[in-house]
Amino acid sequence: MGSGQWHVEKRSTLRNDSFLKEYAPVSETGSLAIIVLGASGDLAKKKTFPALFNLYHQGFLNPDEVHIFGYARTKISDEDLRDRIRGYLVDEKNASEKAEALSKFLQLIKYVSGPYDSEEGFKRLDKAISEHEISKKVSEGSSRRLFYLALPPSVYPPVCKMIKEWCTNKSDLGGWTRIVVEKPFGKDLESAEQLSSQIGKLFDEQQIYRIDHYLGKELVQNMLVLRFANRFFLPLWNRDNIDNVQIVFREDFGTEGRGGYFDEYGIIRDIIQNHLLQASVLCLVAMEKPISLKPEHIRDEKVKVLQSVIPIKDEEVVLGQYEGYKDDPTVPNDSNTPTFATTILRIDNERWEGVPFILKAGKAMSSKKADIRIQFKDVPGDIFKCMYLEQIEPFSHTKYMYRYQKNCWSKLSCNATGQKQGRNEFVIRLQPSEAMYMKLTVKQPGLEMQTVQSELDLSYKQRYQGVSIPEAYERLILDTIKGDQQHFVRRDELKAAWEIFTPLLHRIEKGEVKSIPYKAGSRGPAEADQLLKKAGYLQTHGYIWIPPTL
Ligand SMILES: NC(=O)C1=CN([C@@H]2O[C@H](COP(=O)(O)OP(=O)(O)OC[C@H]3O[C@@H](n4cnc5c(N)ncnc54)[C@H](OP(=O)(O)O)[C@@H]3O)[C@@H](O)[C@H]2O)C=CC1
Ligand SMILES: O=C1O[C@H](COP(=O)(O)O)[C@@H](O)[C@H](O)[C@H]1O
């Protein structure tokens, strides 16, 4: 492999030995049972099993140790489950190359059918796991059991109870039992706390992995390094220099058959409260430097940021619902559920007072992307300052802008639209086309002294050619096996996140904050752009970053 290349197989080589000794969990071996509950469902086939297959294919799951169990109510055979998921594990391009691994992987999968709230099914599940462990000659208590709940949260309490009673590792001889739970973890502060208490009575916090797959995305994982390993960000990363921060998620498709689920939750619970805020993005942008890289130290800092967020004001919220959303027969005709939301969060601490954090998410939008946009303040005493053309007759028909200085107009930095120059921005594109770029003003090459917007660009496809960026679920499942909780949501973090959004969510449910209709395939309600402007965001006109091609 050439220089500058790395693969997921080499992840550990990114960390030096002293780091490994101090922070990484001890390596674990022995029988490993991975149990996917809700194996018949959408998440299991689209994300969980493909991630397991990729880990297996890359050598992270030892075929001599691992066995995979699917569990759900649907009455199907082992072979039926294999047939259901087969098509999601490989694609046309790599099918022949992966054929052998695929067939061996599928043979590791066994299916057990049973209800989620009665002992009969879980006893059978335990028997199947134990048989596998016995076949591997594992002494009782030293095996590893990972339960992945790819299930609606409503069944978490009975399922956790059944696991605890019938399926945990029988004694502590170096083995473990861990459970992975999906979002949405609750619907508001009260229900989340109730769920946390129910599960907390059964399992220790160290056994519970609240997964938010945004925490497994490459550029989200890069945030800590970026912020704390680069000197030039340190003095700039504060209210003195940053005007506003935008964290944006857009999808160019609607709820697509998930209308029933979605209508109960809405875009704030589906995306903003978890992916954009609690788990990942806002916390990582705004947190202080942790005292070390230990997972608990990092999570302590995230909680502090969340606890510093002040209550959201209704006038700093715009909700939208795309036209056609209610055509889904599972969505009520009078639904006020937002499929789009822009909300401004304000962090009341020394670093961020006065800086709006604009969180924006929408379904059925004009494009698909997720990014973090940090916009810096205007340059003080800007000698290149532009004026709008309308203000400077009689030159209004030209493309140029002029500055009035020392009793004369001089031609200045102009862009094609004749608008004011843009501010510096640092953009982290999470997806698609992972990249980081800095928008800055430079001299337009040529004889004239004109300025132009350009960028310093680190586009991953170009910089890391031939590198395959691992899927978020792959990394996170691997972390659960290693016992690394850094990229999982701690109970107090979750509570703090719900504290921020619960009052707003309740007002929406009471119809006190209304969703504005917007056209599918658009930018969302125009009111959202007006809110952005009011918050201080200044759009750079006539400039678009285009991901470089090879
Ligand atoms: N799908 C996705 O893209 C994502 C999903 N998630 C989360 O992952 C979890 C699973 O999602 P997903 O796979 O889409 O869900 P599904 O609706 O596909 O449900 C998964 C399985 O759970 C069982 N199930 C469904 N409804 C009920 C019910 N009311 N009571 C008991 N069992 C039920 C069904 O299995 P059976 O009837 O055979 O028992 C079903 O196959 C959810 O918490 C979801 O929010 C998170 C991120 C993305
Ligand atoms: O959790 C969810 O995430 C997906 C978007 O995930 P991505 O990795 O494709 O960006 C979203 O479509 C879904 O509604 C939500 O539940």
Q: Which residue has the CA at smallest separation from atom 42 of ligand 1? A: 152
- Closest ligand 2 atom number to CA of residue 431: 10
Q: Which residue has the CA at smallest separation from atom 27 of ligand 1? A: 152
Q: Which ligand is nearest to the CA of 253?
A: 2
Residue 284 amino acid letter: L
Task: Please give the pLDDT value at position 261.
Answer: 87
Least confident range of 29-43, 249-263, 403-417: 403-417
Task: Please give the pLDDT value at position 51.
Answer: 97
Spacing, Cα 31 to ligand 2 middle (Å): 32
Spacing, Cα 423 to ligand 2 middle (Å): 31
Task: Please give the pLDDT value at position 57.
Answer: 94
pLDDT per position as a tens digit, 399-454: 444 444 444 445 444 444 444 567 999 999 999 999 999 999 888 899 888 888 89
Nearest to 274 by CA among 252, 228, 306: 306
Rg over CA atoms, the chain:
26
Q: Which residue has the CA at smallest separation from atom 13 of ligand 2? A: 270
For ligand 1, mutation pick of 74, 151, 270, 275 (most atoms within 8 Å of CB): 151
Q: Which residue has the CA at smallest separation from atom 3 of ligand 2? A: 271
Angle (deg, nearest 10), helices 189-202 and 491-509: 150
Phi and psi torsions of 289, nearest 5°: -65, 125
Q: How confident is the model at residue 214 (pLDDT cuts 50, 70, 90)?
A: very high
Least confident range of 57-61, 207-211, 256-260, 406-410: 406-410
- C-alpha span between 102 and 121 (Å, rounded): 28
Torsion of CA 54, 58, 60, 64, to 10 degrees: 100
**Does this complex have an ipTM over 0.90?**
yes
Compute the average pLDDT of residues 226-230: 96
What mean pLDDT value characterizes the chain? Answer: 87
Q: Which ligand is nearest to the CA of 185?
A: 1
Does residue 50 line the site of ligand 1, with CB under 6 A? no
Q: Which residue among 67, 132, 213, 275 is the active-site one?
A: 275
Residue 213 amino acid letter: H
- C-alpha span between 78 and 68 (Å, rounded): 11
pLDDT per position as a tens digit, 304-360: 999 999 999 999 999 999 999 999 999 999 999 999 999 999 999 999 999 999 999
Task: Please give the pLDDT value at position 134.
Answer: 87
Adjacent-strand bridge partners of 402: 411
Residue with tokens 């769920």: 195
pLDDT per position as a tens digit, 515-541: 999 999 999 999 999 999 999 999 877
Task: Give Cβ neighbours of residue 204 (< 8 Å, ≥ 6 apart).
Answer: none
67 is catalytic: no
pLDDT per position as a tens digit, 150-159: 999 889 999 9
38: alpha, beta or left? (left if phi > 0; alpha if psi -120 to 50): left
- C-alpha span between 349 and 541 (Å, rounded): 32
Residue 103 pLDDT > 70: yes
Helices within 74-205 (DSSP H only):
78-89, 95-107, 119-135, 156-162, 189-202
Q: Are 446 and 432 in contact (CB under 8 A)?
A: no
